[in-house]
Structure 1
Amino acid sequence: MSQGNDSARKEIEILRILSEFDGPVGSTLLKRELRKRGFLLSERTVRYHLQLLEAKGFLAGHNRRGRTITSQGMEELGRALASQRLGFVTTRFMSLAYSATYDPTKDTGTVVANVSLLDKSLKDKTVETMKALQSMNLLSAPYIKVLDENTEYCDISVPEGKIGLFTVCNLTLDSILIHSGIPLVFGYGGLVQVVNRKPIRFVEIMSYEGTTIPPLEVFVYRKMTSIMRVLKTGSGMLLATMREIPAEARSQTVKILESQQKKGWGGVLVVGEPNEPVLGVPVSMDRFGICLVGGIVPGAAMVEEGAQIVTTAPHCFVPIEEMIRI
């Protein structure tokens, strides 16, 4: 595809989505799938890209039923290098953080939310785990939204015997900083070693710019965390992320973080000094680092306990007025 990188990335993702379906896919469903992957496009824009791809022979139309990917489209998708998706995670996260409307002065607006599907029998245990995380300042925000079985919300359908649990993603804190005029850069996601409740160092890191999938999901999948051990003994491995912020904005950043902490928000492990490493990871010149607990920590903790949980993080926007405080 010899067009701009942004359009090419969108069209590659459209081909990728269509390749995952056996039958025709319409623009409405495709729009929802694209949103899950960080592409916030209007239905009109989706139809525009579909028409372009069909004209190139990459898609086949099936009247009102939608479109399917052709063999030529599969070949094009196969040629699309992973390098074209580098930076995708950063772009998606920044878009979500910028688009959230939560106003900390009024406690209103939308927050970026993670969602987990789990057995309804695990609801109480999961909430208790979240309370334990909050008591140790390891929870982004003390709010949840619960979907009962056989209900739908934000493109999530909760099957029988399950519940959907929405929690506040730490991208909401990024949103607060961004809308306060504080620019930030997504640095790394990784594992932080905690000893006697004190974060010591990053033992594993992945750059957001150098991967096509969210780094924290990799560590959960590889079962490298020990969050429950941290809750029980004060020592273990935590999921954490790192941002960089201009040094001039440090005092304002600290003021905002302290204000949110008074409201029960947490998850801030370390606020570094300008030009100083954070938990062993260097920062760029004239910037300071901030290390946050990963927003998927509650779900990851339950996975450690053997629970079968499907987590999508981050997933959507939820008005904080619809959430309850734990």
Structure 2
Amino acid sequence: MSESEHRMIEILRILNVQEKPIGSKVIADELKTKGYNLGERAVRYHMQILDEKGYTERKGYSGRVITELGRGKLEKGLIYDQVDFTFSKFEERIYLTDFDYNNRCGNVIVNTSNILENKAFDIIKEVFAAGVCVSPLINAKKTEINGKKGYVMKTICGTTIYGVFLKNGIPSIPQYGGLVEI
């Protein structure tokens, strides 16, 4: 999400909690408390865009209110914020990775799963034998899951590689995770 989109989402958040129309001065002051240094003129510019998109509606000289369409956009914007938050957590984990592959020690990023079936271990051995893993190392602990015996399984996440790159002076930016046919 661009910086401009972040600003507009913040404006929608401010309008969403108001019971009556508010103007650009109130919005600019409120934005300042949230760390956005936007003057009234810039707020009016963003509000015009929000009006054109149907996310806000002008109520005479009183100011603007958020529309139902704007509330929908706000919900989607919050989802983008969650995605940004998740990505920043990944970046933090990459930065904290200090795995030394020569000595096979250090911190790695793991995927954690709850597994109810014992046969999962047979399947994972076959998957690892087929070469579809970052590392054949796993950590499994017995636990109770919804009243049933199970395991908490941790496998090394592929994102660990970005951390190893970074530790060795090779910056990289993860772009996308998806499904690939092999």
Using structure 2 for the length normalisation, give the TM-score: 0.53
Q: Is the 8 A contact 1:116 1:165 kept in 2?
A: yes
Shift of 1:85: 3.8
Q: Which structure has greater helix proportion?
A: 2
- For residues 165 and 86 of structure 1, the distance between their equivalents in structure 2, rounded to whole angstroms, comes to 25
Shift of 1:159: 5.6
Q: Higher RCO, 1 or 2 (CA under 8 Å, sep at least 6)?
A: 1
- For residues 130 and 115 of structure 2, the distance between their equivalents in structure 1, rounded to whole angstroms, comes to 24
Shift of 1:193: 2.0
**Number of matched residues?**
114
- For residues 84 and 110 of structure 1, the distance between their equivalents in structure 2, rounded to whole angstroms, comes to 28
Shift of 1:105: 2.0
Unaligned runs of 5+ residues in structure 1 are 6-75, 151-156, 195-326
Q: Is the 8 A contact 1:134 1:142 kept in 2?
A: yes
| Secondary structure class of the residue paired with 2:177 | strand
Q: Percent identity?
A: 21
Partner of 1:312: none
Distance 1:102 1:158, change over 3 A: farther
Q: 1:118 aligns with which of 115, 120, 123?
A: 115
| Secondary structure class of the residue paired with 1:140 | coil
Shift of 1:173: 1.5
Partner of 1:211: none
Using structure 1 for the length normalisation, give the TM-score: 0.31
Partner of 2:161: 173
Give the AA of the match of 1:99: L
Partner of 1:149: 143
Answer yes or no: is 1:135 the counterpart of 2:129. yes
Shift of 1:171: 1.4
Q: Which structure has greater strand proportion?
A: 1
Partner of 1:15: none
1:194-233 equivalence runs, <5 A: 194=182
Shift of 1:127: 2.1
- For residues 4 and 185 of structure 1, the distance between their equivalents in structure 2, rounded to whole angstroms, comes to 27
Bigger radius of gyration? 2
Shift of 1:135: 2.2
Shift of 1:90: 2.6
1:232-262 deviation line (CA, Å, top 9, x unaligned):
xxxxxxxxxxxxxxxxxxxxxxxxxxxxxxx
